[in-house]
Structure 1
Amino acid sequence: MKIIYNVAINLLSAIISFLSLFNRKAKLRTIGTKKAIEFIKLNAENFKNPIWFHASSVGEFEQAKPLIIKIRELQPNQQILVTFFSSSGFEANKNYKLADYILYLPDDTKANANLFIKTVKPKTAIFIKYEFWFNYLNVLRTNQIPTFSVSAIFRENHFVFKPYASFIRNELTKLEAIFVQNTESLELLKQHNFTNAILSGDTRFDRVAEIANSNPGIIEIADFCDNKEVVVFGSVWAKDMELIIPFINNYASEKVKYIIVPHEIHSAEISEYITKLQAKTIRYSNITEYSNEKILIIDTIGLLSKVYKYAKLAYIGGGFGTGIHNILEAAVYGVPILFGPKYKKFKEATDLTTLQGAIAISDYTMLEKTAKAFLENETFHHKTKTICANYVTENLGAGAIIMGNSKFSAAIR
């Protein structure tokens, strides 16, 4: 199976390279991995046993940040290297100030893994959530570099439990520790004879709390909100907007304003939304020209987690596509949450729907009915707000558990 795996990795690399001719994200990754390899070769002498964090994309890197912050506090001079698989993760974090080096992770071939590990010489390696690249893990183990998986989550149908993935599973059993998000993951690993699994929880709770506690607000957005009730539509896609635009057009209330934050910023798409929206709308890039508009569209990356501060109700996008985006960024402020039907892969979403702090909607009628209930029934709103805030508070502390683990603590010093 290792041979098939390596063939598949090379095939994946070829496919991404081909797609780079037509697809911007594929092009960014193809160019980025080539530059990463060149950079590693040219800067071999500059690497001083960095602590290496690897995350797939933006959301996973948020799970790494609480640990990076703690390590920086304890060891200000310790080099930190961050790698990403996705272009969205790299592009959003390429200027992250707490890391010394930020690169694309070269494809998981034997040659790349050997070059990377033997040149960078990381002190320890920390993989976030479900990033399990066999050749990198194998070379790390061969070179006796302590390696950890953080905020990992597993389900019964996870590929590592399949017969064909026994060689990857074997590498995972030899990690120093796998810090898992929930008891279900812990029990699954134990059933498969893992002895290195530790229940820590999800570091994203720590991260969203840090963001909320250090969020002074944004003056221009506060002025736009003008003490009105605000509905934030966060990380929304075109499919979400098919419901959102009719809702905004149909719900007539002078007390309510709307902030729309597209998941991806495309000027032409935003122009199309503005044409379809009946109320006065302004882009954030033009906020200095604000003149009592009812709708604000954020056309700048990196503001969403701060915008939820102003929300009375949040709709999280992605649920009518491949899956919802980060709901904890809203929940930390005690904001009731709505999202589409594709949410069950996300523990926090299933938890909050069970607790009734979030509601999954399936169509426009349900969106209209539920949103009106939150905006017009203060008792209902307050009850849900409390559930969301308490849920985040009760799940804090994953970072402290990980940092307090003796193996992890020893590996980062």
Structure 2
Amino acid sequence: MQFVLNCIAPLNHKIKLGVKGRSETFDILKNNLSTQDKTLWFHCASLGEYEQGLPVFKELKKKYTNHKVVLTFFSPSGYEIRKNSPIADVVAYLPMDTKKNAKRFLNLVHPELTVFVKYDIWPNYLNELNKRQLRALLISASFRPYQPYFKWHGLLLRKALFAFEHIFTQNDSSKTLLESINYLNATISGDTRFDRVSDQLNQNNSLDFIENFKQNKLCVVAGSTWPEDEALFINFINSEASKGTKFIIAPHNIKTSQIASLQEKLTADTVLYSQKEGHDCSKAQVFIIDTIGLLSKIYSYADIAYVGGAMGQTGLHNTLEPAVFGVPIIIGSHHSKFPEAKAMIDNSGMFSISNQQEFNSILNDLITNKQKRKTSGNHNSEYILKNKGAVEHVLNYLHLQ
């Protein structure tokens, strides 16, 4: 696999970052760790898994004050954004899953406790952890019947699961699947993302430039949008929106050419985050966030939220982030793999649309119906509150609570 990635790397910027980053990992570890260091190892596939694991990572860091934390990612979209994470003493790419790399990595890291998040299962690393009798946990795990762990051809991956001392699953069906292969050390703990987003309420979410832009008017926040999501807003803002409604659009892809295309298609007065200095943002109707890292705070200013990814096939983005602030949410129709979306739709806090007409109808209804906004939003915040507690399960298991 490494050979293939090396060949493709010159043609793909993201793959190139990963290949280069992995080539530097062992030097990073050697320069920052000694054989005397006590360590914890946290591994995440990408940014989403990092956010999911963060509430557990924070608590473990508090408890293991004499340990260095090693945080690894597989994807550049996680590493490049969180390579300066305050939760870790060392952040690196995880080298490819070979027996040689696994032995070399663990010789350098020698973790007292390892925590993997959700689904990123690497057999050679896990089997080497098991051989060395090192503790490993999998948190917020979510399994489906079609995965190789539960098929005749998935013996290697299935064996890797047994390297985990304990697996904390998001739901009962995942625990049942584990039991079907005779893995019995599992607990239904729920999804740590609920704890993660709940913690956002304890943060300072104020942003002066957003307050200046919003001016106490009704505000619709569209987060993690793709072109198919943005097309809905372009049409609505250009033909349906009243001047009394403000819009914040935070695209998933912030390439200059795509941001320029979005701005060009909007007829309303629009301001970019990158150009806000010296601009009277209060006079703009649309604010385009052409940077990363602010969306979770921006959702606190929403009266209505839209979360991108489900109008196309890219995958629905995080709907729990706006839900915690008690606002109604609109999404596209491709959300079957996201149980939290189904739950919030069933609770009447979220609305799924499949075309422009449905989008216009639901958005106009929410804009004009204050009571519906309030009721729907309350359903979402109650849903978050009801599903908190996954972190406590992990800490109780480790006798750290």
Q: TM-score, normalised by structure 2?
A: 0.96
Moved more, 73-82 or 122-131: 73-82
- Is the Cα contact below 8 Å between 1:239 and 1:321 reproduced in 2? no
- Is the Cα contact below 8 Å between 2:205 and 2:298 reproduced in 1? no
Q: How far apart are the structure 2 equivalents of 1:322 and 1:120? A: 35
Task: Determine if the alignment matches structure 1 residue 294 to structure 2 residue 297.
Answer: no
Task: Determine if the alignment matches structure 1 residue 311 to structure 2 residue 302.
Answer: yes
Structure 1 residue 295 displacement after superposition: 0.5
Structure 1 residue 395 displacement after superposition: 0.7
Task: Determine if the alignment matches structure 1 residue 180 to structure 2 residue 151.
Answer: no
Q: Secondary structure at the match of 1:156?
A: coil
Task: Determine if the alignment matches structure 1 residue 353 to structure 2 residue 353.
Answer: no
* Aligned pair partner of 1:148 in 133, 137, 153: 137
Q: 2:371 is matched with which residue?
A: 379
1:55-204 map, 5 Å: 55-204=44-193
Q: How far apart are the structure 1 equivalents of 2:39 and 2:205? A: 33
Structure 1 residue 250 displacement after superposition: 1.6
Moved more, 144-153 or 354-363: 354-363
Q: Which amino acid aligns with 2:361?
A: K
Q: Which amino acid aligns with 1:350?
A: K
1:167-246 map, 5 Å: 167-246=156-235
Task: Determine if the alignment matches structure 1 residue 334 to structure 2 residue 323.
Answer: no
Q: How far apart are the structure 2 equivalents of 1:252 and 1:344? A: 30
- Is the Cα contact below 8 Å between 1:64 and 1:203 reproduced in 2? yes
Q: Which amino acid aligns with 1:358?
A: M
Structure 1 segments of 4+ aligned residues over 6 angstroms from their partners: none
Q: Secondary structure at the match of 2:115?
A: strand
Q: How far apart are the structure 2 equivalents of 1:363 and 1:322? A: 17
- Is the Cα contact below 8 Å between 1:29 and 1:87 reproduced in 2? yes
Q: How far apart are the structure 2 equivalents of 1:281 and 1:366? A: 25
Q: How far apart are the structure 2 equivalents of 1:47 and 1:92? A: 30
How big is each residue's C-alpha offset from its partner over 1:123-146, in whole Å with a ceiling of 9 and x where there is no partner?
111110001111011000001101
- Is the Cα contact below 8 Å between 1:338 and 1:359 reproduced in 2? yes
Q: 2:240 is matched with which residue?
A: 251
Structure 1 residue 245 displacement after superposition: 1.1
Structure 1 residue 42 displacement after superposition: 4.4
Structure 1 residue 213 displacement after superposition: 1.8
RMSD: 1.6
Q: How far apart are the structure 2 equivalents of 1:43 and 1:37? A: 10
Structure 1 residue 43 displacement after superposition: 4.5
Q: How far apart are the structure 2 equivalents of 1:57 and 1:69? A: 17
Q: How far apart are the structure 1 equivalents of 2:204 and 2:41? A: 28
Structure 2 stretches lacking a partner, 5+ long: none
Q: How far apart are the structure 2 equivalents of 1:19 and 1:383? A: 50
With over 3 angstroms needed to count, the CA separation of the structure-2 counterparts of 1:47 and 1:345, relative to structure 1, is: farther
Structure 1 residue 46 displacement after superposition: 6.3
Q: 1:367 is matched with which residue?
A: 359
Q: How far apart are the structure 1 equivalents of 2:189 and 2:279? A: 46
- Is the Cα contact below 8 Å between 1:126 and 1:147 reproduced in 2? yes
How big is each residue's C-alpha offset from its partner over 1:306-337, in whole Å with a ceiling of 9 and x where there is no partner?
00000011111111132111110000001111
- Is the Cα contact below 8 Å between 2:52 and 2:117 reproduced in 1? yes
Structure 1 residue 375 displacement after superposition: 1.0
Q: How far apart are the structure 1 equivalents of 2:246 and 2:199? A: 27
How big is each residue's C-alpha offset from its partner over 1:331-360, in whole Å with a ceiling of 9 and x where there is no partner?
000111111122121221121122221122
Q: Secondary structure at the match of 2:10?
A: coil
The percentage of counterpart residues that share the same residue type is 38
Q: How far apart are the structure 2 equivalents of 1:373 and 1:278? A: 23
- Is the Cα contact below 8 Å between 1:224 and 1:290 reproduced in 2? no
Q: Which amino acid aligns with 1:293?
A: A
Q: Which amino acid aligns with 1:247?
A: F
Moved more, 148-157 or 73-82: 73-82
Structure 1 residue 159 displacement after superposition: 2.5
Q: How far apart are the structure 2 equivalents of 1:163 and 1:94? A: 38
- Is the Cα contact below 8 Å between 2:38 and 2:66 reproduced in 1? no
Q: Secondary structure at the match of 1:343?
A: coil
